[in-house]
DNA sequence: TATCGATACTGTACCGTATCGATATGCTCC
DNA sequence: GGAGCATATCGATACGGTACAGTATCGATA
């Protein structure tokens, strides 16, 4: 699948080798998260893993091959919520994003991926694939809801998923501002509001859902500014 | 303001030094865009700039101080479209984003920023500030439209700007998928649809705008207009 | 006169390869 | 079923080569 990797296709070797391999893959990700591509050296990985440099080169022909394997091994498929309540399920998915972006080392790893993908084509391909897998649950929810007649998908569903997922990554990696706890609900409501079918709206949808034209007044207080330490004052120059 | 920079606040020195300083700042950004933080070394910058390493250390105490200055010097304020047509102005801004993300070296620089900001706090602060400036025109458009009674801002306007801007960065840096030419219009229409006031809708708003509940048959055909207003936007170097 | 480019220098870090002894695993043979 | 051996894998270490950090010096130049 991804060329350049020495052993991702082969069955895991038996015996003592497995342990060294796993230690090395974990160490590679730790280093990448801690120090980015600058800290990702074969020497440092070997040190961190308590392994010999020779062992690294026995398993992977190059640092980038090791990195691809490490990225691939790290991925955990996202859960697929399916309570039948589209809004709740989407919010659950986005809540998972928020947790991953705030309470785990994932964002530091992600930032390194973003940078690495820009410069190593094989990493860009893998990054694309991993992102595709992360998006699959939301895409499926939308397709199911459309099949039930709950929503009208008159545009590319991938764009809808973009609208849903993008704000969280943007806040974390570009705007560097805190993510309000209710942002998943706010985003889902905004996006769903443009897709509800007039004729059929299931009863299990919360009634205070802010439909356009007849919005619940609570959305305002729910999203009160909420700025933290990232709020900065004006700078002197332009 | 940004500690660690040797001279960003001081007036530019006169004489031959100015030229060397500018060459070095440009070279720093070129290297950062080309090879990320790995390629950003004082030696490489000096080579690229045709300068002496000693000259670099005369101006900046460290590599990160140089990087902060280079990032700061690169920024060009985004234009502020204001035709009075909220939709057209927002689309113009997002078109500028798309051009910067597809036709310039800006994204490679941006990816390096994203990674660097994760590991160097002073770069994160600067990145936050630069992003804030990039968002200012859209925020002002929304405030003006609200003042005109054209839209109802019942949530944090920053969240609206997030919804508008995020999909483009997400597509480019996370999903690694091409950005359709009509995505700005699609995004603007989706987001505006949830904010239009019922009572007052200015006449200069296109009538085929996909309102929720009475949607135009295709958001695609409905959003084909107003292109090529301003051709200048912020990007990296020249 | 201030700034610059060029050069040299020491110290450190990493690359990629080679070698060697240690050890866990699996198989054979009794 | 257990002792013993063969094999694969491992960690440690060393090596020459390259690159970069940061400082110092000196002559050139605007």
Distance (Å) from CA A22 to C1' D5?
29
Question: Is A11 a member of any domain?
Answer: no
Over residues A131-149, the mean pLDDT reads 96
Distances (CA, A) of B188 to A98, B41, B89: 24, 41, 10
Q: Within a domain: residue A80?
A: no
Considering the domain architecture, whether residues B188 and B138 belong to the same structural domain is answered as: yes
A134: in domain = yes
At residue B201, does pLDDT exceed 70? no
Task: Please name the member of B162, B191, B196 whose beta carbon is closest to the beta carbon of A170.
Answer: B162
Q: Which of A116-120, B8-12, B220-224 has the highest mean pLDDT?
A: A116-120
Sorted by sequence, the CB contacts under 8 Å of residue B22 that are 6+ apart come out as none
What percentage of chain B exceeds 70 in pLDDT?
Answer: 75
Cβ-based contacts under 8 A for chains A and B: 180
Residue B17 has what pLDDT?
55
Q: Report if residue A10 sits inside a domain.
A: no
A118 and A192 together in one domain? yes
Q: Is the Cβ–Cβ distance between A107 and B118 less than 8 Å?
A: yes
**Alpha carbon B121 to chain centroid distance?**
20
Does position A231 have pLDDT exceeding 70, yes or no?
no
The CATH number given to whatever domain includes residue B208 is 1.10.357.10
The answer to whether residue B5 is domain-embedded is no
Query: Does residue A230 surpass a pLDDT of 70?
Result: no
Are A57 and A90 found together in one domain? Answer: no
Q: State what percent of residues in chain A have pLDDT above 90.
A: 68
Range of the structural domain that residue A24 is part of: 17-74
The pLDDT of residue B18 is: 65
Give, in order, the Cα–Cα distances in Å from A131 to each of A10, A92, A124, B57: 24, 18, 10, 42
The band of A195, judged by pLDDT with boundaries at 50, 70 and 90, is: confident
Q: Which tens digits make up the pLDDT trace of B138-180?
A: 999 999 999 999 999 989 999 999 999 999 999 999 999 999 9
| Interval B180-197 mean pLDDT | 92
Residue A47 belongs to domain with CATH number: 1.10.10.60
DSSP string, B70-125: HHHHH--PPP---SS-HHHHHHHHHHHHHHHHHSSSHHHHHHHHHHHHHH-HHHHH
> What is the per-residue pLDDT across A93-119, written as a single tens digit (0 to 9) for each?
999 999 999 999 999 999 999 999 999
Name the residue among B111, B195, B215 with its Cβ closest to that of A114: B111
Same domain, B37 and B133: no
Name the residue closest to the C1' of C25 by its CA.
A15
Report the chain A residue with the minimal C-alpha distance to residue B171. Answer: A162
Q: What are A196's strand-pairing partners? A: A151
Instruction: Give how many domains chain B has, as a whole number.
Output: 2
User: Across residues A181-203, what is the average pLDDT?
Assistant: 80
A69 and A151 belong to one structural domain = no
User: Is residue A31, in this structure, part of any structural domain at all?
Assistant: yes
Do A99 and A142 lie in one domain? The reply is yes
Strand C CB shell (< 7 Å)? A 14-16, 41-44, 52-54, 57, 62-63; B 13, 15-21, 23, 49-55, 58-59
Same domain, A185 and A207: yes
- Nearest nucleotide (C1') to the CA of residue A44? C14
Q: Same domain for B44 and B153?
A: no
Q: Are residues B193 and B118 in the same domain?
A: yes
pLDDT tens by residue, B110-140 = 999 999 999 999 999 999 999 999 999 999 9
Res A200 pLDDT > 50: no
Note whether residue B1 is domain-resident. no
Of A2 and B152, the structure prediction assigns the larger pLDDT to B152
Return the closest nucleotide (C1') to the Cα of A23: D10
Is B128 in Cβ contact with A176 (below 8 Å)? yes
Q: What is the pLDDT of residues B74-106, one digit of tens each?
A: 888 889 999 999 999 999 999 999 999 999 999
Residue A1 lies in a domain: no
Whether residues B61 and B94 fall in one domain: no
Does residue B34 surpass a pLDDT of 60?
Answer: yes
Among B8, B42, B74, give the residue marking a domain's end.
B74
Per cent of chain B over pLDDT 90 is 68
Question: Same domain, yes or no, for A103 and A127?
Answer: yes
Closest CA to A228 of A177, A186, A185: A177
Are residues B154 and A215, on separate chains, in Cβ contact within 8 Å? Answer: yes
Burial label, A17 (beta-carbon count in 10 A; 0-12, 13-18, 19+): middle
Mutation target vs B (from A175, A221, A234; most B CBs, 10 A cutoff): A175
The pLDDT confidence band at residue B195, using thresholds 50, 70 and 90, is confident
Domain finish residue from A8, A42, A74: A74
* Pick from B37, B132, B167: CB nearest A37: B37
Residues B205 and B120 in one domain: yes
């Amino acid at each position: 699948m991804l060329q350049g990797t020495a052993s991702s296709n082969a069955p895991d070797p038996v015996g003592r080798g497995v342990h060294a391999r796993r230690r090395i893959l974990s160490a590679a990700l730790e280093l990448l998260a801690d120090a980015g591509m600058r800290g990702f050296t074969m020497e440092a990985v070997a040190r961190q893993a308590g392994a010999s440099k020779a062992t690294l080169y026995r398993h992977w022909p190059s640092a980038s091959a090791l990195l691809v394997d490490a990225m691939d091994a790290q991925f955990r498929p996202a859960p697929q919520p399916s309570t039948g309540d589209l809004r709740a399920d989407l919010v659950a998915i986005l809540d998972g994003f928020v947790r991953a972006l705030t309470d785990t080392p994932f964002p530091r790893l992600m930032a390194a991926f973003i940078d690495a993908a820009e410069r190593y084509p094989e990493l860009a391909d893998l990054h694309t694939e991993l992102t595709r897998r992360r998006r699959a649950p939301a895409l499926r929810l939308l397709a199911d809801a459309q099949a039930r007649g709950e929503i009208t998908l008159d545009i590319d569903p991938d764009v809808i998923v973009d609208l849903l997922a993008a704000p969280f990554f943007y806040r974390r990696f570009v705007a560097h501002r805190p993510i309000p706890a209710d942002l998943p609900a706010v985003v889902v409501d905004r996006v769903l509001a443009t897709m509800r079918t007039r004729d059929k709206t299931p009863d299990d949808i919360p009634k205070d859902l802010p439909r356009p034209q007849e919005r619940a007044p609570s959305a305002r207080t729910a999203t009160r500014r909420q700025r933290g330490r990232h709020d900065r004052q004006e700078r002197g120059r332009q």
